Amino acid sequence: MNRIVVVGASAAGLAAAETLRREGYEGPLTLVGDEPHLPYDRPPLSKQLLASEWEQDRLELRRSEDLAALDLDLRLGVEATGLDVAGRRVLLADGSEAPYDGLVVATGVRPRRLPGEGAHVLRTLNDALTLRERLEPGLRLVVVGAGFLGAEAAAVAWRLGARVTVLEPAAVPLAHAVGEEVGRVLSRAHLDRGVDLRCGVTVAEVTEDGVRLGDGEIVEADEVLVAIGSVPNTDWLADSGLAVGDGVVCDEYLEAARNVYAAGDVARWYNPLFGTSMRIEHRTNAAEQGMAAARNLLRPDARKPFAPVPYFWSDQYDMKIQAYGFLRGHDEVAVVEGDLAERRFVAVYRTGDRVSGALAVGMPPKAVRLWRQAIATGALWDESVPAPAQRS
Ligand X SMILES: Cc1cc2nc3c(=O)[nH]c(=O)nc-3n(C[C@H](O)[C@H](O)[C@H](O)COP(=O)(O)OP(=O)(O)OC[C@H]3O[C@@H](n4cnc5c(N)ncnc54)[C@H](O)[C@@H]3O)c2cc1C
State the CB neighbour count (10 A cutoff) for residue 237.
24
Is 149 a binder of ligand X (CB under 6 A)? yes
Contact 281, 109 (CB under 8 A): yes
Is 265 a binder of ligand X (CB under 6 A)? yes
Choice from 4, 5, 6, 12 touching ligand X (CB under 6 A): 12
Choices 28-36, 246-254, 333-341, 355-363; region in contact with ligand X by CB under 6 A? 28-36
State the CB neighbour count (10 A cutoff) for residue 41.
16
**221, 188, 189, 190: which is closest to 203 by C-alpha?**
221
Q: Which of residues 172-201 bind ligand X (CB under 6 A)?
A: none
Of 212 and 268, the one with the shorter C-beta distance to ligand X is: 268
Is 31 a binder of ligand X (CB under 6 A)? no
- The Cα–Cα gap between 147 and 112 comes to 13
Of 168 and 281, the one with the shorter C-beta distance to ligand X is: 281
Contact 4, 27 (CB under 8 A): yes
Question: What is the smallest separation between the CB atom of 325 and ligand X, expressed in angstroms?
Answer: 13
Q: Which of residues 35-74 bind ligand X (CB under 6 A)?
A: 35, 42-43, 45-46
Site map 77..106 versus ligand X, x via CB under 6 A:
--xx-------------------------x
Is 109 a binder of ligand X (CB under 6 A)? yes
- The Cα–Cα gap between 367 and 364 comes to 6
β-strand partners of 224: 142
Site map 338..367 versus ligand X, x via CB under 6 A:
------------------------------
Distances (CA, A) of 328 to 105, 247, 333, 349: 25, 17, 11, 9
**101, 69, 108: which is closest to 87 by C-alpha?**
101
Choices 26-34, 179-187, 193-201, 357-365; region in contact with ligand X by CB under 6 A? 26-34
Site map 313..342 versus ligand X, x via CB under 6 A:
xx----------------------------
Choices 180-188, 207-215, 276-284, 301-309; region in contact with ligand X by CB under 6 A? 276-284
State the CB neighbour count (10 A cutoff) for residue 128.
23
DSSP state at residue 370: H
Is 122 a binder of ligand X (CB under 6 A)? yes
Residue 10 phi, psi (nearest 5):
-135, -150
State the CB neighbour count (10 A cutoff) for residue 187.
21
Of 9 and 29, the one with the shorter C-beta distance to ligand X is: 9
Contact 313, 320 (CB under 8 A): yes
Choice from 4, 5, 13, 20 touching ligand X (CB under 6 A): 13
Is 223 a binder of ligand X (CB under 6 A)? no
280 SS3 class: coil
What end-to-end distance do the CA atoms of the chain give, in Å?
55
- The Cα–Cα gap between 24 and 59 comes to 28
Is 108 a binder of ligand X (CB under 6 A)? yes
Choice from 4, 5, 6, 10 touching ligand X (CB under 6 A): 10
Residues of this chain that interact with ligand X (CB under 6 A) are 7-13, 32-35, 42-43, 45-46, 79-80, 106-109, 122-123, 149, 233, 236, 264-265, 281-284, 286, 312-314
